[in-house]
Structure 1
């Protein structure tokens, strides 16, 4: 259920009750403060709150501080009006809002200035007390007599939350909040502030200037909608035309088949008739021969029995001649049927049926909303350096669309800039893929938009972080050290660059940018299999306000809120589907699939974001693809997985997301490779343990070794921030080093 953002309403869609202290979110949806507090406790985390209706995120100025959200005074006013109307329509007597003496009777008037119902006594006092002498009073009996309700009355006086007896009369231009006189004197005396009416004029003008721009945008959107409606109409018309063409084509094919059927039946009839005629003639000739032979035999037999010798001798020559004739005729007579019942046909329909099954094609073209871009795997770039990515067009069945010539259009612009977006060159590879590159000229967040046929591809527009270039060959000593309570294992950064570290004492600690610890999860020094507790946590992944932890000796992945509250867990000890054995590294692709390296099972397990098992990647059966005690795992800019082969001679093995072994590199540089991270240009950083001294090896995008960073101890997991700085877990020295 969605609220109306064009005007205030009187009830909260979360609790379906009349608003109680409504607060407005950035999406312009308003809810009771109490409802938002409850919703935040159930669903929120950190300094962001998603709207219960539209899920648009609103940043909070402090963790959990719903009270700092702006009050929706208009919604509060509408709620008050609704409350007044309900009281007026009710058959119950309305209680006085000022006194509590039941002997004074029910309310008989309503004060428009204080927005309170007054009994007879309080009404009289109101008319005689100097401070309220000029307040506008409404006679309730007259209103009810007319069947009228309280409408179009002034807003109730706005009182301050911090000072309930004071009225809000000022607007703080520094903090954009309403103030009372006490707030100004006590808390905002150094701020710029104005009387509400004066400030409202300037703010209204500012709001109207934005409104004018948005109105222009709205007009263009309406034009686009009108154009879209026309295109939809043309699509529907084309659909009908195509359907009619299909029907007419198959109708013609059906008529052709019927005509061919009739022709073959006619030929079949003619052949059968010819056979029957020939056989009938043969039958008649044989029958005639048979009858003649029968008569002759009968006549001659009788002659031999009843003729006198003289009679027989006189006709013997003639009878012998006839018998010889019959014998000769028999030799010339064909007794076998001149025609067989066989009627050879050529009706092998296998080829025809196959052709029919493949006959015709309605080409849908590619589906932009399912088409993907490799930029999403690492949405980062480096200033003044070319950044390449590939678009894969896909059809409505989410399969690669093999044809080119689609209208692909790409632009990029600096977020917040007033300049027009830069159009990017697109190369059609004529196989359903399109190559795009750009060279950013400024650092910061950029908006990358990619469309096909004027429709955004999957996840477009993208947010691309552009940083200053770094010369990794010049990396030597660390520039900052984060000291941890004990041995450090995994490292990850949130969107605010806070550092989260898994520790060997079964806990997780968090540091701000300055290196100050501000959070601790788990039970330090005590392992546990309870929810939210850990037994040697290793790899850690942060996604928005969620944390995924590879819980090594509990053989599971825990999905938690940043606050530490458990959301889900998956994996049990074993080697079956969905089971894990010493999970170490963890990474995620934009679709939400999670890849977990299993030290004990020599494989990578793939899960959906909710923990549903998908598949295993083992490399078995592929030459060179077998893993041995994999630990670290990372994804490169093309979407391939890089897995550190801790127990093998090869440092890193590369696999596709579906498990195909691709290649390997770096086997002669580090023994016992552990952590790995990859930057936007494809540079990879690999940490080695049990080396003396500990090292981080750096490889370029072609997997050529370019640098060794010598650390002071064993290097476990690694990560990079948006500015290209490297964070390495220095295990034995209980610290994280930043380079």
Structure 2
């Protein structure tokens, strides 16, 4: 069962912390989307994730332009700085500027200069050219819990010495008195303070409406949690009913009951994974909404007349967008039901009962190209890709000894020599690298910088390998080194080994015969998927090896040539991805093996796809001919 991730949606949550380091703000910088971060945190984040001139906000993911000169030129959030500074206010503080003997009592503190100022020095400070636009915070509050009052003047960009005091209605922009008698001479104007008052009232109303959206999010989250509880209860009830029925018929029905329980468990795991995705998405929406409300409150309460007027449209539209309920927000639900048979027939299946499964509609997946790169300068196919948690992957090409570590953007980090030709790479639960050397007929373990030691020596050629839920090694074993050399009569199999090299069993179902199993993978349900390129099909097996389903292409895919599977991969929601070498395509199957659609085709410029892997960040790595790798990011919609 997928563990439930705690998701809280709180209106009064304290967001006066940096959204990156989660600590107190240091040199707070506010973005155009009204989210604020520490300068150093923002600089580091943009350095790691930014693209030439833009990056996405870490909280709301809005695309943001980097100012000319770098992130240092984002506007300082003086409202947050004022909140931090007010705790330093002292009733007996003295002016730090004037040279009077008695040192006049402080009235304000300049947030740019970090200086205490008396009344006379404050007036002088705002008249000086170098400091006329500084932000002065009133000090010596009667109540430290009150919001600090910040005073600032905003001057005309054209007439540098003129303060913005008017609002031009046709141009929808604050102007100064000189602008009024020159470029805006015949335009209708109003006092800027009156317009700002109206803007505050409008945005205040929008804020009230926005806060009313929180109960809807709470209700949606409650529905998701309640659905999971009902689904869990249904699963438990069905499992109990199936188990009781199986006990009555004892050994004769063990196989049937085991099969049905496995199917229920598979459906349950897939569905709970989808529920967890819904919960995280709803919780994230709540956090973004809460942070936006907090940021908007700061602008409305502390913004200057010019600032509130300039930002009213963008902030109003932003609040409206956040509170628009998605049309497809209702959660489609899985239907499970077990019906004990009342039939008195002689067949065990008729006596036992039936399991009815009605699945919700399939979630669509959108792909966006992330990168394309060459592994090396050969013309060999990329034979294996093994992702790591850090957005990196180990890659082999051309069945050579070199193993390369690449970042998702195509940057090569290092190359290691295994001193024997490598076919497939996987990781065990303890983080050890497990590899197959098909020509050396060995399974090896790499530790401490890929210092390989032998796990098992085989009489056949190990090709694809995978780790099952018991941390055992599943091996595609062929009597010939290449599938092109397959001959009738070859007994190619899937074998199961322990990590200490003990052969546990042949992995065969009497109902199916492997011709040349090439690649193998385990999905999140525990099922095992095998790619048989010679048989031109994908087979799905239970953990005991019994066959559940086989896929040999789909008529609706309109394939140009017969289905020719190579690599196979699975994601965290049970979907199966298969490279079709003959048709330059990637087939998308659901967790049961049912064809969903062609996810990638020649339109995505993948040619001769062979290996495939999905990393933890939903990046799909495709290894093709000519040592080429293409990476696509998958989004569930």
Fold in common (TM above 0.5): no
**TM range, smaller chain:** 0.3 to 0.5
Rg larger in 1 or in 2?
A: 1
User: Taking CA–CA contacts closer than 8 Å with sequence separation of 6 or more, which of the two structures ends up with the larger relative contact order?
Assistant: 2
Normalising by the residue count of structure 1, what TM-score does the alignment of the two structures yield? Answer: 0.38
Normalising by the residue count of structure 2, what TM-score does the alignment of the two structures yield? Answer: 0.43
